[in-house]
Amino acid sequence: MRKKITKTDAEWRELLTPEQYQVSRQGATEPPFSGKYCDEKGTGTYVCASCGEALFASDTKYESRSGWPSFWRPVDGESIGELADESHGMRRVEVLCARCDGHLGHVFEDGPQPSGLRYCINSAALDFKPSEE
């Protein structure tokens, strides 16, 4: 079991950029096709921008044409949490970092096989750690 990270609102504001804070701590969504990892093709691991938890491997990233980085599975089942989201008049499943509860994006059931899932994630909630080759 991962050790939970908790910080005060002031600590999160000091640690994160304003955009990262709005997305990760307040549940905002960056505009489509605006995120820095939308077109990233490198090999490595996407980690939580708030706490550094490994979330998604680059070999599970795919082009969904949704406007946000999309992945078909997390690094492992314990790295993310899910929460029902009925905001904006829709029923969705919010994806959170299991370690710090940071908002990452949403998961939909319209992704590629083998999972059939599309984890639609905000670039502002992620950092990319390239593989050392």
Catalytically annotated residue among 48, 51, 97, 120: 120
Residue 124 lies in a domain: yes
Q: Token match 């504001």: residue?
A: 13
CATH number for the domain including 60?
2.170.150.20
- What share of the chain has pLDDT > 70, as a percent? 97
Residue 2 lies in a domain: no
Residue 46 lies in a domain: yes
Which domain covers residue 115, as residue numbers? 9-130
What is the total count of domains within the chain?
1
Residue 32 lies in a domain: yes
Residue 86 has pLDDT above 80, yes or no: no
For 70-100, b where at least 16 C-beta lie within 10 A, e where not — what string?
bbbbbbeeebbeeeeeeeeeeebebbbbbbb
Name the DSSP class of 3. Answer: P
Catalytic residue at 38? no
Residue 1 lies in a domain: no
pLDDT of residue 91: 78
Q: What is the pTM of this model?
A: 0.92
